[in-house]
Amino acid sequence: MAACFVLYLLAKKQGEITRLIETSTLSLFERIQHPTASPLVTVPPALPRGFQLLDNRLFYKGLDILPLSQLSDEMPAPIYVRHLPSLRDNVAQLQSWFDIAKVHTGYAGDLTIAYASKANPSQPVVRTLLQAGTAYECSSNYDIEVVRHAAAQGWLNTDRTVFINGFKLPVYTRNVLQLRREGFAHIVPIFDGIEEIAPFADSGLTFDVGLRSRTDSNAEEVNRFGMDNDAMAEAADQIGLTANLRLTTFHAMQTVSASRGLQYMTAVMHSLRSYARLRRIAPTLCRFDIGGGTPARNADMDHQDWMIQLLQMINEICDQEGVPVPDLIIESGRYLVQDHAFRLFHVFKTKSAEDGIPYYMIDGSIMSLFPDAWALGDTFTVLPVNGWDGEFGAARLAGITCDHDDVYPTHRMADVPLSLPVETADLIVGFFDCGAYQETLGGRHGAKHCMLPEGPEIILDEDATGRIVVEALPAQDAACVLGSLGYRY
């Protein structure tokens, strides 16, 4: 009788009828009688590649994660950890995939790996990648100052290739020209429109230059980047009439990831056809910049097979078009940096929810630190650092801001709860593979939602003997947060 009464009440509540269909009467009754009961029992989450358990503690890339959460004296606070060896390893691995594919396919061109700074312009990241030998891709005027700083610090010399991408506002153009006057010999402006050519042609300075193509890589989006084939041909003619500019680089502005398989390869094929048409107009054209879109190493994709297929396709298209294969440029920032960083949070309390799946409250803001999660629905690898020897249950995470969107899974994702330890005392949860875009989309320092400060940062590197070296940077203090809002002490 009691069970029937419960059903009647639930049916009167908005949104509960679906739950009645999916859930037994008995389990609904039990949840109402025990709203704070343990979450639904689940199995522990599967460990992705690169993770392992030792003594019921999580290890990532051989690192014992738990001690890293205890390095700061400013607990509790979310901790940001960078693992710089991952950056060097990603450069070496991409080059290795290319070298193997080059032998396999008989590809005649070479590879330049360029770092697109917009993915993460932080000093430790840029320094490590430039020291690993990458070229640098600028997207704004302040990138020029990064190049100057890097040269002064010895991370690159004036012979390193620097690609000048992005829209050329006058101040950006003037700074690029000045950089060339300072002796940087391999500054390569990539023109997004014909109007960007004149200041460089009139400068009297010599440049290898490139053109950015409007790639039809996603029929669902209107592409605002680059030039169509007619504009590209006109731009090539204008460049050919100058005495100081030489067209060497075709930039394919991909708008889909290589993980999209056929759609991505079709877009690259169209770009290669455009490259071949332009090559017949400008015989100096010799480099094909495939742009971004290379997924991080944790993606469900065989990168070696992808590289082989890519070089095979370039061989075939260039043979059909009767043009030489180009040297290849890959400038995928996400691939190079996404898996180098992670954030660690402490669960400080739980809150019950209507469906019996609790919220685990963490000492930071998901909304502030992972803007691409709540805005775009991007997902991250989320795993408990400790507590693996206990019972696991379904749970959601919630940040400490006063905002409905400060949850994970976010409202733009499928509402599939996480599997986390039921015992939350001293529980630490990590968001992994979060080294690309979050820092700049969410902002560095300054003030964030609810004036929550940034936690401490830990930078891990290796010395010449392979020993891990730890550098700890402090968390934001009140003066830093309030000062950015105009308060003066």
CATH code of domain 107-331: 3.20.20.10
What is the residue type of 1? Answer: M
CATH 2.40.37.10 in the chain, residue ranges: 47-83+338-483
Contacts of 241 (CB under 8 A, 6+ apart): none
Q: What is the pLDDT of residue 221?
A: 60
Asked if residues 418 and 395 have their Cβ atoms less than 8 Å apart, the reply is yes
In this predicted structure, the answer to whether residue 440 has a pLDDT above a threshold of 80 is no
The 10s digit of each residue's pLDDT in 290-318 is 987 787 787 788 999 999 999 999 999 99
Beta-bridge partners for 64? 59
pLDDT in tens, 204-239: 999 999 999 977 655 566 667 778 899 999 999 999
The predicted pLDDT at position 222 comes to: 62
What digits encode the pLDDT tens for the residues 392-428?
999 999 998 888 888 999 888 888 999 999 999 999 9
Model pLDDT, residue 14: 36
Of 469, 450, 442, 470, the residue nearest 458 (C-alpha): 470
Calculate mean pLDDT across residues 172-201: 97
Task: With a cut of 70, say whether residue 35 has pLDDT above it.
Answer: no
Average pLDDT of the segment spanning 457-478: 89
| Distance of alpha carbon 291 from alpha carbon 305, whole angstroms | 19
Query: Could you tell me the CA-to-CA distances from 487 to 453, 481, 482, 483 in Å, in that order?
Result: 15, 9, 5, 5
Q: Quickly state the pLDDT bin for 255 (edges 50, 70, 90).
A: low
Closest by CA to 360, choosing from 410, 395, 389, is 395
486: left (phi over 0), alpha (psi -120 to 50) or beta: left
Taking phi over 0 as left and psi of -120 to 50 as alpha, with beta for the rest, 424 belongs to alpha
Q: How far apart are alpha carbons 118 and 239 in whole angstroms?
A: 28
Which has the minimum average pLDDT: 8-12, 152-156, 259-263, 398-402?
8-12
Query: What is the share, in percent, of the chain residues with pLDDT greater than 70?
Result: 87
Predicted confidence (pLDDT) at residue 21 exceeds the cutoff of 70: no
The ranges of the chain annotated as CATH 3.20.20.10 are: 107-331
Q: Class of 47-83+338-483 per CATH?
A: mainly beta
| pLDDT the model gives residue 72 | 58
* pLDDT band, residue 339 (cuts 50/70/90): very high
Contacts of 380 (CB under 8 A, 6+ apart): 370, 373, 431, 432, 433, 434
Closest CA to 63 of 469, 474, 472: 469
Mean pLDDT across 344-368? 91
User: Pairing relation of β-strands 418-421 and 57-60?
Assistant: unpaired
- CA contacts within 13 A on the Cβ side of 215: 28
69: tokens are: 């959460």
The helix (run of H) or strand (run of E) holding residue 442 is helix 438-442
